[in-house]
A and B are shown apart, each in its own frame.
Chain A
Amino acid sequence: MAEATTNPQDEFVAPAPEPVGRESGSLTRIIQELVFTVDHKKLGLMYIGSGLFFFVVAGCMAALIRAQLFFPSNDFLEPDVFNRFFTMHGTAMVFLVGMPIIFGFANYLIPLMIGARDMAFPRLNAFGFWVFLFSGILLYFSYLGAPGLYAAGSAPDVGWFAYSPLTARAFSRGTSTDYWTLSLLLGGIGSISTAINILVTVFCYRCKGMLLGRMPLFVWMFVVVAFLVVIALPPLSACQIMLLLDRYLGAKFFDTQAGGSAVLWQHFFWIFGHPEVYILILPGFAIASEVIPVFSRKPIFGYPVMVAASVMIAFISLGVWAHHMFTVGMTSLGNTFFAISTMLVAIPTGIKIFNWLGTMYGGKLRFDLPMMFCIGFLFQFLIAGLTGVMLAVAPFDWQLSDSYFVVAHFHYVLIGALLYAIFAGIYYWYPKAFGRMPSARLGHWHFWLFTVGFHLTFFPQHISGFLGMPRRIFTYEADRGWEIWNQISTVGVLFQIPGILFFVVNLLYSYFKGPKSGDDPWDAWTLEWATTSPPPEYNFAELPEVKSRRPLWDLKHPEDPDWKFE
């Protein structure tokens, strides 16, 4: 991997076959391979698999939360149990589901898309995965290992953004908060490692002819994501270090009795937290930017603008953080500044929606599974973005902040947009990873059940927010006008659960019984489709040389290649 230049004319000699020893496929062999692997593809699948596992766990917690909120003054869950559930649900979904799944996609696809053999630092890659997995186990271990106020095992209950001074020793006794702190500190190290790996891989291992302006948009978006991780994760690490110092060495970072500032935590956390949500959603954009063109049979509309818009989003997103703090008592100047910056970030984001629509316009749309989920993504991201604009209007945010309206907004972003894009990506690249097509029938059941459930659960939450229902309450009185909306919201769960079951069944069933897919089942144009399904460990027999953004289009259409027009 040390060579930066390759000559495709060289004869490539495939390595000798694996020595015959224990039967491959036995469980010990498989586990051994997974534990010791540094192969980006295996690690990518391990990231995605672990992320989906935590998705189910955190999703179950959400289902129980919705059950508790079905009736007013319900006592299905004790307040402490409820508070731990929403803390763990939020923390797990962001750090143990969102981050690993996006890194899984990056790991699997980036080397393939740029015509490389692996990531720049394969061992660092494995390190990043295992650190993440350990951090997830550590967080959930708190249920067993953390004595709380009543000396029972208990998970953190301070909310996923853990505002001080609620997290101070005085108000969070026992060690439950420390499980949260340590888990995120470790997870952050893993994320930063992976981000550096992505940046070095993309800048230093592209195949011949793949100028930065010829990379798939997927890769560009991950460059932006990795850059954001490198800049924005350290503030989170700083927060955790400061909190640990406060709790264990009596430091005064957030000790309001000693002159410390509770608001300082919020600033530092959201300097991480806001870029974090762009870190989460940009990979959704990345997937959509690959899937939509292929299923519209047209190149992405406005590639340079899409790159520029992504870079702009990243930069602006570093300057909007205090829109999470409009109610904390900043001056009117501060509030105005952050309202303006937040509205500005909506502009490049909106442009992207138009570019995706422009890609579809005039095309020949194929409504296979990946495209169905991308259409869901577009519609739901539109709603999410518009409710975001409402929240940017600071005075309106003074009503909406910390209410169920915000909960609705971010679930439309993270489920409606990101998760749908992830589903699209999984169905799109499943044949590449496993050599088999996912079942369209099972996928349709997945799509329709989940979509009905998603809207039933989250749309009414906009309304309960308008009616004054705050977040993070384990119960509510009758006659506040919230009952019916909570009940509809809970009913939605009954559709989401079978939807996810169909998804899981589809993944498993298709692995064994799906029809063989071949190298390029979707008739796509980027380099990952130029090798076998699944790819060999070395990815390509010969490292490719490209002359345009769509090397396979050029091969398939020699009379009308892209490089004549770019």
Chain B
Amino acid sequence: MSTAEATADWRLPSPRKVGMACLILTESALFTIFVVAYLFYIGKSLAGPLPSEVLEFPWLGSIALIGSSGTIMVAERFLHSKNHRGFLLWWGITVALGVYFIYFTGAEWHHLIYEKNITISTNVFGTTFYSLVGLHASHVLVGLLLLAVVFVASLRGKIPSDHTEHVEMISWYWHFVDAIWLVVLTVVYIISVRAS
């Protein structure tokens, strides 16, 4: 445990990484509760539309969001190789894909509310669906805000090299939001649709 070598080469983890990891951990705990609520209430609605009756698998939105995890990684690679224009392009594509996901979710909700007549107060499915998907969407919005700030900043000049970790942390957050979407897809659009 205690050796002279350990103290001579005193290296501690990066605070930004530990901080973002803690944030992701705590947000995961929050999402877990909403996912558990969703799973618990499958099949328990007394009336009203069921998931299989109203939900369609969100192909385009999911491809956009999952794809944006790929494009953000490409952007980061350009950042590391100091290719400013490459970084700007792929970061911009990431933002665009994120914006598309929000539009897609909004359109889906509009359809569900006005054409399928299911709202958060219709039945327990509506409650758990909108709260879980909405919680996720709100996190996507926050992520988009962070992405946009970086985008605007890099439009006005290069990202300084000692800020690469900041950008990396934002991409961690973005990957986390993506991973949550995979869970939502599985629980909402696959499991509950099959079960109802």
Contact = CB atoms under 8 A, between A and B. Distances in A.
B15 interface: yes
A233 B33 CA distance: 11
Interface string A240-278: 011001000111110000111100100010010000000
A230 B123 contact: no
Most buried by A among B23, B29, B135: B29
Interface size class of A (residues with CB under 8 A): 35 or more
A234 B35 CA distance: 13
B160 interface: no
Given A203-B12, A204-B18, A253-B37, A230 B29 contact: yes
A187 to B, nearest CB: 15
B154 interface: no
Contact of B37 (A4, A213, A242, A249): A242
B130 to A, nearest CB: 8
Interface stretch (A192-200, A372-380, A444-452, A457-465): A192-200
A205 B12 contact: yes
Nearest to A549: B2
Contact of B11 (A5, A235, A241): A5
A59 B90 CA distance: 59
A192 B12 contact: no
Contact of A192 (B7, B13, B26, B44): B26
A203 B11 CA distance: 11
B195 interface: no
Contact of A258 (B10, B22, B40, B123): B123
Interface in A400-447: none
A240 to B, nearest CB: 11
Contact of A235 (B6, B13, B29): B29
B80 to A, nearest CB: 20
Interface string B117-155: 000110110111001000100000000000000000000
A208 B33 contact: no
Interface string B4-38: 00110011111100110011011101101110010
- Of the listed residues A195, A238, A241, A250, the one surrounded by the most CB atoms of chain B closer than 10 A to its CB is A238
A209 interface: yes
B26 A234 contact: yes
B60 interface: no
Contact of B2 (A214, A252, A258, A260): A214
A230 B22 contact: yes
B32 to A, nearest CB: 8
B120 A251 contact: yes
Contact of A204 (B13, B25, B29, B30): B13
A239 B18 CA distance: 27
A251 B151 CA distance: 38
Nearest to A260: B124
Nearest to A235: B33
B190 to A, nearest CB: 23
Given A245-B127, A253-B127, A264-B40, A231 B10 contact: no
A320 B159 CA distance: 48
18 contacts: A4-B14, A4-B15, A195-B22, A200-B19, A203-B12, A203-B13, A204-B18, A208-B7, A211-B2, A231-B25, A234-B32, A237-B30, A239-B33, A245-B131, A259-B124, A264-B37, A268-B33, A271-B33
Given A4-B13, A195-B26, A238-B34, 13 more contacts: A121-B15, A196-B22, A205-B12, A234-B29, A234-B33, A235-B29, A241-B131, A242-B131, A250-B120, A252-B121, A252-B126, A259-B46, A260-B41
Interface pairs A-B: 4 shortest CB-CB: A250-B121, A234-B30, A238-B33, A234-B29
